Chain A
Amino acid sequence: MLGRLGLFVLTLWAAVTVNFVLPRLMPGTPADAAVAKLAQNGPVSEATRAAIEAQLGVPDGNLLAQYGSYLRQVATLDFGVSYTFYPQTVSSMVSQALPYTLLLVGLVTVLAFVLGTLVGVLSAWKRGTWLDALPTLSGSFLSTFPYFWTALLLLFFLGFVLHWFPTTGAYSATTTPGFTLAFLGDALAHAALPAITILLTSLGGWILGMRNAMINTLGDDYVTFAEANGLRGRTVALRYAARNAILPNLTGFGLSLGGVVGGSVLVEQVFGYPGIGYLLFNAVIGQDYPLMQALFLMITVSVLVANFLVDVLYGLLDPRTRR
């Protein structure tokens, strides 16, 4: 247990440090990014640049000093002021965006996993029939589409041509956010297109993964033995085969759960959805070190935690991993 904790801390430190170094390897400074943005509307004077640098207060001190203050920030979870959203603090920007991403990407990821796994079990069990062919074919077809392409297609046809769904934002501009039925319905309608996009493009992977693992397991001796003993088909499929076959899918699920916090950058961008993914995109474009650091740290930590949880679950499902 101690060794595991040590490894966790070491991994965390490495991630935190890479997190510090990577943005600084990008050419240009945060002020350059802000100036470049302004320069698209005309020449930017020296004074403007000086004012921007004074406003942002960057970059200060040598790398070692920056690293020191960065570690202090991480320890106290105070990431200071965002450059791109100055004078907004990083924590206020993150807390504004996080609920949208958790609800949208989180729920859809769980839904896609549950649905895909069930369909995968079914199609493996009924292999050779249309119940196998249909999900397998459509699954492999859909999962070959890139995220953003599917997003654009849905946006265009369901949004702009058919007007079934709102095309941008997380809720209507005229609705006041709050726990009212009207707002929740509105928010749901706005989440529909990005949700469908993520569901469509990720479902195939779960179906195929589960199906293939199932087929392997179904060939194993203990399944044949169970069948020979005359156990009911459903019992064999779920209690014997699926329980073992789900293990690789579960690992994938853990990883994608960790990725939920990172949002779906492209999908959120296409639909103007105010989640973490869009925030991350803005942070990178704006060389926003404080915001980038906070976001990458959140993503790293959530992936680490999700992995840890999967480890625990594995232990419950697979006695062989227990010691």
Chain B
Amino acid sequence: MGTGLSGCSVQVRSRPDPTIGQDTMLINADKGNPLFNRVFNPFLVNTRTAAKWIYEPLILVNPLDGEQIPWLAQSWELPDARTIVLTVREAQWSDGEPFTADDVVFTLELLKQVPALDGKGVWQHLASVEADGDRVVCRLQTDDVPALPIIGVTYVVPRHRWAEVADPGTYRDENPVGTGPFVLGNYNPQQYSMDRNPRYWQADSVEIEHLVLPATDNQLDTVTRGYDWSYSFISDVQGTWGAASPHNRWWFPPGGIVALLPNHTVAPFDDVAVRRGLSLALDRGRIADVASEGYMQPAGQTGLVLPNQQDWLDPAIPDAGMVAQDTAAALESFAAAGYTQRDGRLVGPDGRQFAFALTSANGYTDWTRAAQEVAGQLGALGIEVSLQLPQPAGYQSAVANGQFQVALGGMGGGDVFRAFNDLMSSEFLTDVGTSTQANYERFSDPEVDALLAEFRSSTDPARQLAAARSLQRKVYEELPAIGLYYGGLWGLYNDEKFIGWPTAEDPYMAPQNYDSAPLGIFTRLKLAGGAA
């Protein structure tokens, strides 16, 4: 759509609703299908986006780099690798009741009693939890330092209201009472509004009086309606979003890595020489350009998202892990696995052409473009790649069950430990045909498992860093997955009414308007016209 628009003489401009005030933010964050259901239970899959701005986590985690920011917990300590002690801050629920450590214990116990609500798997890490004054003592099942952010992102709900809920698993929570910066204002199935919470514990930092969330979001709507904050991949952002208003800005930081996942249970992808050959054969810059219309950078082979996780990078890895296309080296590596070029085709020891199916999800257009580009580049070397594009559910099922040869998938981003653990831990290994939720490529290496265990049980940052660096070298040398390019976070915002948005120069928070990341942004934005 976008390229079509910019090429044509009709220029769509945004037409903001004149009734929306200077202190009100119009935010394109919640997708109704196409109407809203009134569900604010923050633990349900289909909760309203704003439920996560009404309820707050103990620790606010920046999805960009995994930074842990004190939130409802003002501080924490790990006396040993299996104990976490959180100190809660002084705050109030929006109905005036005080927020206490009891609320935190109640919430965590609730997740234990109703596993359907425990979407982060808190009780796979926790053994018990108790309140001690303004402190919450969490005892873990094993040495498990990375459990901190998992427990920390739990949304805390008020005991005095939730204790009476008969069935929390289907509770819709139509009139939520939270600790967050906003309370629910007007609600109707096509639009709801939020009002500033005067009792908020950092009310002084919030200058936005109201949020307005309409149910619709098509891309034309994104451009024309005059949103203050939107989040969407958009073709030709300069010619569409950028042209719609002189105040429209955008920031697309990398959020994760789009990678080739070779199935290690399927020959010849169990052979590292084949995986290295594939990696060397690819021009990642071109793939990144084609897939993301030039918005995203090619990704290196460390499993880290750069520059977000720059601090973790092992300086001994050449070129920050970037692998350049080197056809000669690729052929050499394939030759080590028994594959040689004959009449322009790469043939194996049995004389048959090296051919495989690349699985991606139908409708993920950037992935599809990447897959086509990969197929083309490998085809030039004599490898025959056919594309398989099932519907997302079918893709998810095939990948989780190991029923693929090579798939496109995501890796990395957020918490460094979890990124490496999800990519390579053999705890996720299941038989082909049985579903797993991580390590889809079914990689297994006892040394990697030992490194992950070391990382997990260490409270010493220096030892964590050393483990992380060894894990990067494993990713670089063993190629459990082959990184292609960074997946983007598509932050679109307007600085006419509000300033102080996160940028590449000041990446204090991911520019996404879902989950709890916006809490970190709402409390930093200022009115452009000066204090209200």
Contacts and interface: CB of A to CB of B under 8 A. Distances in A.
Interface in A147-202: 155-156, 160-161, 163, 167-174, 176-177
B437 A49 contact: yes
Nearest to A287: B393
A18 B3 CA distance: 43
Contacts of A167: 220-221
Contacts of B214: 173
Interface in A264-314: 272-274, 278-279, 282, 285, 287
A45 B120 CA distance: 7
B255 interface: yes
A52 interface: yes
B453 interface: no
B396 interface: yes
Contacts of B418: 43
Contact of A28 (B19, B35, B397, B515): B397
Contacts of A174: 19, 191
A122 B434 CA distance: 66
Overall SS of chain B's interface? loop
A41 B396 contact: no
A42 B63 contact: yes
Contacts of B396: 28, 32-33, 35-36, 39
B397 A32 contact: yes
A231 interface: no
A130 interface: no
Interface string B473-514: 000000000000000000000000000000000000000101
A27 interface: yes
A317 interface: no
B391 A84 contact: no
B2 interface: no
B455 interface: no
A163 B17 CA distance: 13
A234 interface: no
B270 to A, nearest CB: 23
A156 B191 contact: no
Interface centre among A38, A48, A171, A273 (most CB of B within 10 A): A48
A43 B438 contact: yes
A49 B393 CA distance: 13
Given A39-B396, A46-B121, A273-B34, A168 B221 contact: yes
A51 B34 contact: no
A48 B218 CA distance: 28
Nearest to B4: A156
Interface stretch (A71-79, A85-93, A239-247): A85-93
Query: Contact residue range for chain A?
Result: 35 or more
A212 interface: no
Interface string A34-62: 11111111111111111110110000000
B329 interface: no
Nearest to B191: A173
A19 interface: no
B33 A85 contact: yes
B349 interface: no
A33 B221 CA distance: 26
A257 B392 CA distance: 33
Contacts of B215: 169, 173, 272
A170 B391 CA distance: 29
Contacts of A278: 33-34
B34 A173 contact: no
Contacts of A44: 437
Contacts of A54: 115-116, 169
B120 A272 contact: no
A41 B398 CA distance: 19
Contact of A168 (B218, B390, B394, B414): B218
Given A45-B438, A274-B189, 13 more contacts: A28-B395, A29-B397, A32-B396, A36-B395, A45-B121, A48-B437, A54-B116, A54-B169, A81-B170, A84-B33, A96-B35, A173-B190, A285-B391
25 contacts: A26-B391, A27-B397, A27-B398, A28-B390, A29-B397, A30-B393, A32-B393, A32-B394, A33-B393, A33-B396, A35-B400, A39-B410, A46-B438, A50-B115, A51-B115, A51-B116, A55-B169, A85-B33, A85-B46, A168-B216, A168-B221, A170-B190, A272-B34, A272-B215, A272-B218
